[in-house]
Amino acid sequence: MKASSFSIFIPIIFLFILSCSKGKYDHIFGKEYRSLTEFPEFADMARGGGALIGEKENVNYVINYYRKDTVNLIAFEEISRKVKGQSRFKLLDVLEIYNLEENQQITFGECRMKQNTDKEIIAIYEDVDTTEVQFYKNIVQAWRANQTTRKIEPIEIADIDCVNKVFGL
C-alpha cells in the first residue's frame, strides 16, 4: 500500500504550478508592450500561440502562451490599443506551470464547461494518441482567465472537456 501511495504523489511533486498576480512581475503590470519577450525575464522564452477571449466585436483580452525548457507560462493580457495595426498589451496575471508529464498538454480557448464553449478556460489534459476522440475529458487541472476579476483563477475540473485538434484526421 505504501508503494502505491508513493507513486501517486510523484506526479504531484513534479508538476509545480504557481499563479502570481502580484510579486515577481509587479514591475510589468500596467506597462504596454507588444510581446512579453521585450522584458529581460522573458527574452529567452518562445511564444507558442494565443487566443482571443470574448465576442469578435468586443475582444478586450487575450491569453498568450510562452515556453522555455520545463517552464510553461500563460499570460492573461488586456489588449490596450493598436499601433500601426499591431496590438499592444498590458499584463493582468500570470500562470507558471513547471515540469508537465510527457503525456500532458496545455490548452486554452478550446474548452467547454457542461458542453458550452468557454474561451476563458485554461486546462492541462492527458493526451491520448487518437484521432477518434472529439473531446479530451481527462482534464488534470483547470483555471479561468476571468474577465471580470482580471485574474487567473483555479476552477473545478468536473464537466470540462477540450477539443482534440486531430479528431477525424
**169 domain residue, yes or no:** no
Residues 6+ away with beta carbon under 8 Å from 102: none
* Backbone dihedral angles phi then psi of residue 163, each to the nearest 5 degrees: -60, 135
Task: Count how many domains the chain has.
Answer: 1
pLDDT tens for 26-73 read: 889 888 999 999 999 899 999 998 998 876 566 689 999 999 999 999
Q: Is 159's pLDDT higher than 70? A: yes
**Which residues face 154 on adjacent strands?**
143
Confidence of residue 22 (pLDDT cuts 50, 70, 90): low
Query: Which structural domain, as residue segments, surrounds residue 134?
Result: 2-163
